[in-house]
Amino acid sequence: MSRSMSRKRPNPAQYRRARHKRPAHAELFAALGHKARLALVARLCAGPPESISQLTSGSRLTRQAVTKHLRVLERAGIVHSARAGRESLFALDPEPMQQMQDYLGRVSREWDRTLARLKAFLEKTEL
């Protein structure tokens, strides 16, 4: 333990600060936590890249609202846009969502194993 003791000990206040930072994954979850944006994601997921006009024509939202939601999705890295003539075409990038899901899957499986060990531990020890 000598190595760990020689290191600077973080104090509880540091922990709290670190927890309240909002790095990029927070944007990913925030971006997906909205009905209109989820609908846009679902639409881009199922079809080819589309312009703001095309996405507006297929929804009940105004052009301004669609634009606003697309920008949020773009900042979170969920959609990317590319110029096509006078318009921008928006396409889905599943990578960030996939990465997060993979990570959560690993954490989830690790908990399955840990809790199985707890169960086994309780079975083998006296009450």
Residues binding another protein (CB under 8 A): 1, 3-4, 7-12, 14-15, 18-19, 21-30, 32, 77, 96-97, 99-125, 127
Q: How far is the CB of 53 from another protein (least distance, A)?
A: 28
Closer to another protein at the Cβ: 89 or 96? 96
Beta bridge partners of 87: 84
Q: How far is the CB of 1 from another protein (least distance, A)?
A: 6
Closer to another protein at the Cβ: 23 or 48? 23
Q: How far is the CB of 88 from another protein (least distance, A)?
A: 22
Query: 49 near 85, Cβ under 8 Å?
Result: no
Provide CB contacts within 8 A for 88, sequence distance 6+.
Answer: 51, 52, 81, 82
User: Distance (Å, rounded) from C-alpha 124 to C-alpha 70?
Assistant: 55
Q: How far is the CB of 32 from another protein (least distance, A)?
A: 5
Provide CB contacts within 8 A for 87, sequence distance 6+.
Answer: 51, 52, 53
Q: What angle do CA 34, 38, 41 make, to 5 degrees?
A: 145
Closer to another protein at the Cβ: 9 or 35? 9
Closer to another protein at the Cβ: 6 or 85? 6
